Structure 1
Amino acid sequence: MLVRRRNFLAGALGLPFVRLSLAHAQSTAKPIEIGFVYEGIGAASIPRAKAFQEGLRSKGYEEGRNITTVIRNGESHPDQFEPLVRELVQRDVKVLFAVGPAMTRLAKAATPTIPIVALDLESDPIKAGLVQSITRPGGNLTGMFFDFPDFAKKWLQLLSEAVPGLARPAMLWDPATGKYQADAVSEEARSRGLSLQVLPVRSPADFEPAFANGVDAKADAMLVLSSPLFGTNPKLIADLAIQRRLPAITFYPEFARVGGLLAYGTNLIDLFFQAGVLVAKILDGERPATLPVERPSRFQLVVNLKTAALLGVTMPTSILLRADEVIE
């Protein structure tokens, strides 16, 4: 009994030391590296990365304490995308967060083992071969996708309401995003009897010539599709639309807030936060193969009446009553 009691006391006295040692080890362990690869410009990635990190922190993963986000920006130059993805894969990050359709495809091709969380608002993940199904992706990739072709109808419907007699809309399209949304808009335009002009844009330097081409072709409105290229340059596009006197609509609410006429889409900052939560689930041990793909569930209609006045557009009551935000 004496020996047993001494062993018990020694073990009991050692417990605080063991716990202290574990806590010390955790506090001094190297933070987990998470890759963050973004197609757009660095300045635009700052608030997005912050929201992503907030999502992680809501689940106990704090930047600088137990995680480190390794951020790489493509600066809207497609030739830089593949080397950035390759760098993060070679670095063997714990999870790779890929933003945009091009980065998502490159990440999927670059590694069959590193877990990937995608934020791709321009692809159908099943048709693109990125996942096997929405509920069970089945591979090393899951994420946030926006595969709602019916949204094209909403954009054209709103433009038609705002611009009575709409006949010749133009459409800014980034070929790097693929043809999924562009085909949906083209089909809807045909069903409405509209003559749609497609304007491919590959970099910010193409914006002004594209608008000029639209005006030369007698465009009476502009629809700007979803793309990281457009989402990171809302002010530039809004200013060009006003200069060219083209009523314009896009997916990004920020577009209307910085001077565009109309926006109908989702809050990107919310999506980046949710992507951070998805990454945290993987860090907690869940597998992308069984983590269902998520989609935006909240959408905002933002109307800028200041811009409407500048363009001579009388915004109909039908739009104003549905608007979530009206800028006067």
Structure 2
Amino acid sequence: MVAGVGRRHFISALGGTALALPLTAQAQQPAKPARIGFLYPGVSAVAVSRIKALRLGLEAMGYGIDQVEIIDHSSQGDPGKLPGLAADLVARKVDVIVPISPAGVRTAKSATTTIPIVANDLESDPVASGFVASLARPGGNITGVFSDFPDFGTKWLEILKEALPNLTKVVVMRDPATAPTQLDAVTAAARLLRVRLDVVDVRAIAELRHAFEIAAGHKPDAVIVLASPLFGTEPKLIADLALDHRLPTVTLFSEIARAGGLLSYGPDLLETFRQTGTMAGKVLRGQKPADLPVERPTKFEMIVNQRTAKALGITLPNAVLLHADEVIE
């Protein structure tokens, strides 16, 4: 009798264990990683450093590399590919889209009104562009890091004037897909400083070489390259073209100055991607873009390439060198 009861208890226990095993195994399976779509108008080779910085921000919010899959959708410098790339991210039902540049944000906005969008856009006024209702309360499915400071445009020309006291003529290279804020600021500063501006539009990476040929044909004293991921994608090419045509160049992108451009001044670019990653992490944790205030860049830097100055026969004033955060000898 006792043995029979023991056998029944054993069978019951065995059956319970067998039933429990799949549930236990299921409970031990790792959670499915969140997915972020990275919509970038540049090339994948440059996106690597941006995504690495984005991950630093995600890690600060507790999301390790195994907990977030980042899908790199780079257009390889062809803006015409952005709508198809955005549509693919929507079809994959990613948890967050991180679009870069005004064109990227506009494309993501057109592609979805439901998937959260955390932008990195250093050229647009997000309110004037219709991306958000206000900086404090975006109100829709878009938030992010935006920087439309017109002061940058003014500062670039002022730095050039200080570095080149005889400056009278400047070529401005711009991506017409960006907002006019930067060009308006440079134009206003040029009037005050009595500097003539000629504008050269660049719509794709493939146009860069021809654009520098056109710029050189204007015989300017210097070139200002306005902010656009289109230009940030090819820092070495832009620096080399500027040197080949002996054109002192100032820009937002420190990578261009480090690669051989003359000067850069603007936000610490990789820091803005870290900020964007932190905001994306907040969204993954449940905060809604509608309630997550737009952020501005917090770190800025000025880079001076003294080696390039010497190659161009330019003697930079001590005041310019002293204001620099980094001088490349």
Task: Please report the TM-score for the alignment, with normalisation by the length of structure 2.
Answer: 0.90
Gaps (5+ residues) in structure 1? 1-17
Alpha carbons of 1:25 and 1:171: their partners in 2 closer, same or farther (altered >3 Å)?
A: farther
Alpha carbons of 1:29 and 1:149: their partners in 2 closer, same or farther (altered >3 Å)?
A: same
For residues 207 and 30 of structure 2, the distance between their equivalents in structure 1, rounded to whole angstroms, comes to 49
- CA RMSD, Structure 1 to Structure 2 (Å): 1.8
Alpha carbons of 1:310 and 1:89: their partners in 2 closer, same or farther (altered >3 Å)?
A: same
2:41/2:100 contact within 8 Å kept: yes
User: Counterpart in 2 of 1:12?
Assistant: none
The Cα shift of 1:285 comes to 1.0
Instruction: Write the deviation string for residues 121-164 of structure 1: whole angstroms up to 9, x where unpaired.
Output: 11100000001111111111000001101111110000011111
Aligned partner of residue 123 in structure 2, secondary structure: coil
Alpha carbons of 1:300 and 1:22: their partners in 2 closer, same or farther (altered >3 Å)?
A: farther
Letter in 1 for 2:35: E
User: Counterpart in 1 of 2:235?
Assistant: 234
Aligned partner of residue 120 in structure 2, secondary structure: strand
For residues 27 and 117 of structure 2, the distance between their equivalents in structure 1, rounded to whole angstroms, comes to 28
Instruction: Write the deviation string for residues 27-85 of structure 1: whole angstroms up to 9, x where unpaired.
Output: 4332221111111001000111111122112222123x322111110111011011001
User: Counterpart in 2 of 1:37?
Assistant: 39
For residues 320 and 299 of structure 2, the distance between their equivalents in structure 1, rounded to whole angstroms, comes to 18
Aligned ranges for residues 38-117 of structure 1 at < 5 Å?
A: 38-63=40-65, 65-117=66-118
For residues 36 and 252 of structure 1, the distance between their equivalents in structure 2, rounded to whole angstroms, comes to 20
For residues 178 and 118 of structure 1, the distance between their equivalents in structure 2, rounded to whole angstroms, comes to 15
- 183-192 or 247-256, which deviates more: 183-192
For residues 154 and 73 of structure 2, the distance between their equivalents in structure 1, rounded to whole angstroms, comes to 35
Instruction: Name the count of aligned residue pairs.
Output: 310
User: Counterpart in 2 of 1:313?
Assistant: 314
User: Counterpart in 2 of 1:248?
Assistant: 249
Q: Percent of aligned positions with the same letter in both sequences?
A: 49
User: Counterpart in 2 of 1:276?
Assistant: 277
2:216/2:245 contact within 8 Å kept: yes
Gaps (5+ residues) in structure 2? 1-19
Alpha carbons of 1:184 and 1:167: their partners in 2 closer, same or farther (altered >3 Å)?
A: same
The Cα shift of 1:216 comes to 1.6
Letter in 1 for 2:57: G
User: Counterpart in 2 of 1:15?
Assistant: none
Task: Please report the TM-score for the alignment, with normalisation by the length of structure 1.
Answer: 0.90
For residues 24 and 131 of structure 2, the distance between their equivalents in structure 1, rounded to whole angstroms, comes to 40
For residues 33 and 161 of structure 1, the distance between their equivalents in structure 2, rounded to whole angstroms, comes to 47
Alpha carbons of 1:52 and 1:141: their partners in 2 closer, same or farther (altered >3 Å)?
A: same
Letter in 1 for 2:190: A
Aligned partner of residue 214 in structure 1, secondary structure: helix
Aligned partner of residue 196 in structure 2, secondary structure: coil
